[in-house]
Amino acid sequence: MDYRRTYVRDLFNLSPGTQASAYGWVKTRRDSKGISFVQLSDGSCFKDLQIVVNEGTVSADALKLITTGACVRFDGEIVESPAAGQAVELLAKDVEVFGAADPEKYPLQKKGATMEYLREIAHLRVRGNTFGAVFRVRAQAAFAIHQFFHNRGFHYIQPPIITASDAEGAGAMFAVSTNLQLDDKHQYKLTSNDPAADFFGKPSFLTVSGQLEAETLALGLTNVYTFGPTFRAENSSTSRHLAEFWMVEPEMAFCEIEGNMTRAEEFLKEVIGYLLENSGQDLDFFNPRIEPELLKTLSHVVDSPFERMTYTEAVKLLEASGEKFEYPVFWGTDLQSEHERWLTEVKVGRPVILTDYPKEIKAFYMKENSDGKTVRAMDVLAPRIGEIIGGSQREEQLDVLERKIADFGLPLEPYWWYLDLRRFGSAPHAGFGLGFERLLMYVTGMKNIRDVIPYHRTPGNAEF
Ligand code: 4AD
Ligand code: MG
């Protein structure tokens, strides 16, 4: 076995007459007039390689095992293909079956499986067309994100996953404790009530955002970004919320809200543009099967400027819209997904950046405007998705920040180091967070956020 073997993706580029081996999993097999036609995938690209097995070339015992889901290697010759949609196929001369898959029991059968069912067999769904494409696009998008920041001199940083401070001040954190153990009856047992006796010597949690730590690194490295898992213990079972999701958080010193907006727009456009250029086969599958007009909308996003408006202007438009919203709109309310969708889909028809939200509905660290009522927040809203990016200019004045932390009813103590940034060499700075899975929903057209991450964590589910 050669680990440098040629991937299926590259077998398509070989000239007829070349001897080659193809490794992968059988998608389908069809028999006609003594010939077996096998569709083989190794996940290296969307297209399956067609393998032609003439009667008598491989043993009857081996042939029996070549069923959907089996893992095999075919050795043979690349030949011109008479079939439509492919220039070449592999004429098999030999086969090795690495792992059979009993057709009576293999859970990923050919057609008609619902997304909900596929979620239950998330360990196998990647072998099908849809999820193969989703996870290839996910990998490409991650690469495009790193490339975007790398090319602009941003430093990739890794904030801690376990932390003692609530970055959003919203209290939606998962506790991390060794004071809680399972007893032999599989019941929880508290070994101590005292956080000081716990593993970290104080209450500790999974991070909701790496922003605060990113700010400390930006005030020294100037431009940094994080790309990692974040956790929210919100009990919301929607198609857009995960308890564990990946976030990309750039943080920039010497940047105000306008620069932050421009950077966010440039970022989304470049990443989407990269995918249009490099994930063509996969996006062609999503368009129109998963989302009609997907490619057209994505190209439109790349080519046209995002609309910018203030929260106050958006509320006026929503109030004047004449729409019957489930949640009423008034100045001071947090916008719901239905409002965000109306603005982006009905009113504007492309992404919208909303700024200057009421301070009460945004996090404590955002810079206050001189009106005393609003903060320099910016949310990027996308059609179909709603909020895809949330960001702000940060409050860089010590006294104002201390007051805001107190106003939000938060303790000052865990933020001592965050406040130090404002004590020593404070600088205007800004940043934002992109929900990686929200971006993936947007570019693939997938309707449920559970279907763009390999294993979703949501209320009631931590399988796999
Ligand atoms: O708006 P959020 O909460 O902002 C922050 O966490 C800031 N610290 C970001 C920053 O300024 N550095 O979250 C940012 C983005 C949202 O716009 C959304 O796309 C995504 O993260 N997001 C979620 N994605 C999936 N599941 C959830 N439960 C999410 N919560 C937020
Ligand atoms: Mg937000």
Q: What is the mean pLDDT of residues 82-102?
A: 95
Smallest CA separation from ligand 1 atom 25, residue: 241
As given in the structure block, the two tokens for residue 348 are 């504007």
pLDDT class for 171, splitting at 50, 70, 90? confident
391 CB under 6 A from ligand 1?
Answer: yes
**Is 53 touching ligand 1 by the criterion CB < 6 Å?**
no
Q: What is the pLDDT of residues 275-291, one digit of tens each?
A: 999 999 999 999 999 99
Q: Which domains does the chain have, with CATH numbers?
A: 4-109 (2.40.50.140), 127-173+208-451 (3.30.930.10)
Contacting residues for 3 by C-beta, under 8 A, at least 6 apart: none
- Furthest CA-CA distance within the chain: 84
Q: What is the mean pLDDT of residues 222-234?
A: 98
pLDDT in tens, 387-416: 999 999 999 999 999 999 999 999 999 999
Sheet containing 204-206: which strands, arranged edge to edge? 162-163, 204-206, 175-176
Nearest CA residue ID for atom 2, ligand 1: 390
- Nearest atom of ligand 1 to the alpha carbon of 388: 19
Ligand 1 touching residue 285 (CB < 6 A):
no
Ligand 1 centroid to Cα of residue 247, in Å, is 7
**Mean pLDDT for the chain overall:** 96
Predicted structure pTM score:
0.97
Name which of 62-71, 80-89, 143-152 the model is least confident about. 80-89
- Give the ligand 1 atom nearest the CA of 250: 12
- Token pair 């504007």 is at which residue? 348
Closest C-alpha residue for ligand 1 atom 5: 433
Query: Which of these, 458, 1, 96, lies nearest to 241 by C-alpha position?
Result: 458
Give the model's pLDDT for residue 453: 98
Which residues, other chains included, contact 383 with Cβ-Cβ below 8 Å and sequence gap of 6+? 297, 341, 344, 345, 349, 350, 351
In the reported structure, the alpha carbon of residue 402 is separated from the centroid of ligand 1 by a whole-number distance in angstroms of 24
Q: Whose CA is nearest to atom 3 of ligand 1?
A: 390
* 353-394 confidence digits (pLDDT tens): 999 999 999 999 999 999 999 999 999 999 999 999 999 999
How many whole angstroms separate alpha carbon 219 and alpha carbon 222? 6
Q: Please say whether the dihedral angle defined by the alpha carbons of residues 345, 349, 353 and 355, taken in this order, is positive or negative.
A: negative
Share above pLDDT 90 across residues of the chain, in percent, rounded to a whole number: 96
Q: For 54-80, write each residue's pLDDT tens digit.
A: 999 999 999 999 999 999 999 999 999
In this predicted structure, what is the pLDDT of residue 110? 64
Give the position, in ligand 1's atom list, of the atom nearest the Cα of 449: 25
Q: Which of 177, 169, 210, 173 has its CA nearest to residue 193?
A: 177
The number of beta carbons lying within 10 Å of the beta carbon of residue 217 is: 20
List all residues 6 or more positions away from 226 whose beta carbon is below 8 Å from its beta carbon: 156, 157, 158, 159, 210, 213, 214, 247, 248, 249
Q: Specify whether the CB–CB gap between 378 and 391 falls below 8 A.
A: yes
Which residue is listed with tokens 């196929």?
A: 89
Residue 362 corresponds to which tokens in the numbers above? 């945004």
